[in-house]
Structure 1
Amino acid sequence: MSETKRTIGELISEFAAVAIIIIFGDGAAAMYSLYDPSPYKTAYWGVCIVWGLAVTVAIYCTAAISGTHANPAVTLSLALFREFPWKKVLPYGVAQIAGGCFGALVVYAMFAPVIDHYNLTHHLTRAGDGGSAGVFFTHPGAYITVAHAFLDETILTALLVFGIFAITCRYNTQAPQANSGALIIGLLVAIIGGSAGYLDAWAINPARDFGPRLFCFFAGWGASAIPAPGQYWFVPIVAPLLGGIIGGGAYHYGIRPFMPQYATRLPGESDPVIVTEDARQT
């Protein structure tokens, strides 16, 4: 397979991975917020599990092609610490954000009548009040300022990437194998949501937030999406990128060198995201 064809396949894979995550995840968010009584209001863990399993399904569907970064923060961290090619970082990011836009479009196509009914019933507008915006993108929760949300997103994404690096480390003898690693990564996403999701809806992924936010900007939400109240739109982009670097660096320099098998590694050997034939170079 030519390099160009392989790269195109990887970009399609990243697009599809994020689209899958958003279709299921934002679908669960719609079920949580648009219905009264909500099937999730007294079972929030169910929303977290749906988001986590959406990540697991995305990995199973696309990891053999691109390694399923599905997150610009992960891609950047892999470039910094696991020799992922820098020339692919920006194209991966664009494909991931485009996947987020498409996923939001699919969710909107399914839930548009429910969104309109909810806004009408609660006397909300899209652009003025941000009616139903929580279905698609994140915002600070109760008592959380924009500055504090930046801190939260940095910490939570650091935990995410630290966990991903540990789960996929070839020298970590306690890590799951490639196939079960997808499930554990999904559970990690669910755990983050279950423990801290109410702070600011745990974006932990620039594409997960900005892709749907960009779609909503053109679908009637306007300024409530971008720039959003308090200029919040940049927080789920910059904070996860920073957090990914912190989490990836913490594992790469703080844990990995002490793994028993690390000293016996082959020259130039690196860690994959998911160990597959086409993803070994990542």
Structure 2
Amino acid sequence: MEARKAIIGELIAEIIAVAIIILIGDSVAGMIVLYDPPINPYANAYWGVCITWGLAVTIAIYVTGSVSGCHANPAVTLALALFRDFSWKKVLPYWVAQIIGGFIGAAIVYALYVPVIDHFNAVHHFARDLDAGAAGMFFTSPGPFITPMHAFTDEIILTAFLVLGIFAITEQYNEAAPMANSGALIIGLLVAAIGASAGFLEAWAINPARDFGPRLFCFFAGWGTGAIPGKLNYFWVPIVAPLIGGPIGAAIYQFAVRPFLPKRVAAGMPQRIAADAVVPPVDRVA
């Protein structure tokens, strides 16, 4: 009974974590998509968009990290199962919870912005069932000069970098890692840095739930094929690519960096240790 109660709590926490990220992140995307110059508050301040997404991740970690570890990303969950002994029995339930969180977060954003969305679509003559239009604030798509297959490669690389950074930040034997609960802030800055350096490529999904949950909501909210399969049949790219990139980044850290950490070598530790022994839960992952 206690074990069942614990897993239910973890899944609720994952739903809340992703909902927080999407609520804040898609809202800031709405600020830049829906408001034309000169009133667009981020027209000349793209870093503000990136740091807001990063802070969304930080807040999600502080709210839910001590319950579920705040994976909030199927690629992170998969990497933890492969390399840090996270239970494989929890992987699929975590994935489902994360997508539900993305769906709920998008629904809340829609409730906030629906009058502005309708005005934007009317002014620009976007039809929900024909054009993505304002749905661009909810999910990602290839940027200028980027094909879906190039975006697929991009997302593998960027997600690998994300998970590499998360594993380094949350490694207890890494003396250069942030101390105590400041890890949540650094993970948020990592997300912001990825967006600031590569966000224009395809809006740096680096998280299947972050893209597919809102995309699924948009499908049912009237955007239909504009959401799934989306322009250029793009919907599968932010799902598959991060699930490949996450384990690659984790493997790079686990086999190319972690075995050589001086503190760990001095302790004579084996290469693999239990996930719960890595760091305090609130700093575990994002």
User: Does TM, scored on the shorter chain, surpass 0.5?
Assistant: yes
Match of 1:30 in 2: 30
Match for 2:195 among 172, 193, 196? Answer: 193
1:126 positional shift: 1.4
Segments of 5+ residues of structure 2 without an aligned counterpart are: none
Report the Cα distance in structure 2 between the residues aligned to 1:88 and 1:2, rounded to whole angstroms.
16
- Contact 2:183–2:283 under 8 Å retained in 1: no
Q: Which segments of structure 1 move beyond 4 Å, counting only runs of 4 or more?
A: 265-268, 271-274, 277-280
* Cα distance per residue 1:131-187 (max 9 Å; x no partner): 111110000000000000001111100000000000001110110123100000000
- Contact 2:57–2:187 under 8 Å retained in 1: yes
Match of 2:153 in 1: 151
- Segment drifting more, 15-24 vs 119-128: 119-128
1:74 positional shift: 0.1
* Cα distance per residue 1:177-212 (max 9 Å; x no partner): 231000000000000000000000000000000000
Percentage of pairs with the same residue: 64
Report the Cα distance in structure 2 between the residues aligned to 1:277 and 1:146, rounded to whole angstroms.
36
Query: Cα–Cα, structure 1 residues 118 and 195, in superposed 2: closer, same or farther, change >3 Å?
Result: same
Report the Cα distance in structure 2 between the residues aligned to 1:11 and 1:257, rounded to whole angstroms.
32
Match of 2:230 in 1: 228
Match of 2:274 in 1: 270
- Contact 1:168–1:271 under 8 Å retained in 2: no
Match of 1:105 in 2: 107
- Contact 1:66–1:279 under 8 Å retained in 2: no
1:16 maps to 2:27: no
Match of 1:53 in 2: 55
Paired residues for 1:212-223 under 5 Å: 212-223=214-225
Paired residues for 1:65-104 under 5 Å: 65-104=67-106
1:278 positional shift: 8.7
- Contact 1:217–1:225 under 8 Å retained in 2: yes
- Contact 1:15–1:99 under 8 Å retained in 2: yes
- Segment drifting more, 255-264 vs 17-26: 255-264
AA paired with 1:190? A
Match of 1:5 in 2: 5
AA paired with 1:10? E
Report the Cα distance in structure 1 between the residues aligned to 2:191 and 2:58, rounded to whole angstroms.
10
1:118 positional shift: 0.3
Report the Cα distance in structure 2 between the residues aligned to 1:273 and 1:129, rounded to whole angstroms.
49
AA paired with 1:115? I
AA paired with 2:100? A
AA paired with 1:275? V
Report the Cα distance in structure 1 between the residues aligned to 2:278 and 2:29, rounded to whole angstroms.
28
Match of 2:144 in 1: 142
- Contact 1:79–1:89 under 8 Å retained in 2: yes
Report the Cα distance in structure 2 between the residues aligned to 1:273 and 1:131, rounded to whole angstroms.
46
Alpha-carbon RMSD: 1.7
**When the two structures are aligned, how many residues end up with a matched partner?**
280
* Cα distance per residue 1:20-49 (max 9 Å; x no partner): 000000000000110122100100000000
Match of 1:208 in 2: 210
Match of 2:182 in 1: 180
* Cα distance per residue 1:44-81 (max 9 Å; x no partner): 00000000000000000000001100000000000000
1:229 positional shift: 1.9
**3-state SS of 1:132 partner:** helix
Report the Cα distance in structure 2 between the residues aligned to 1:58 and 1:265, rounded to whole angstroms.
35
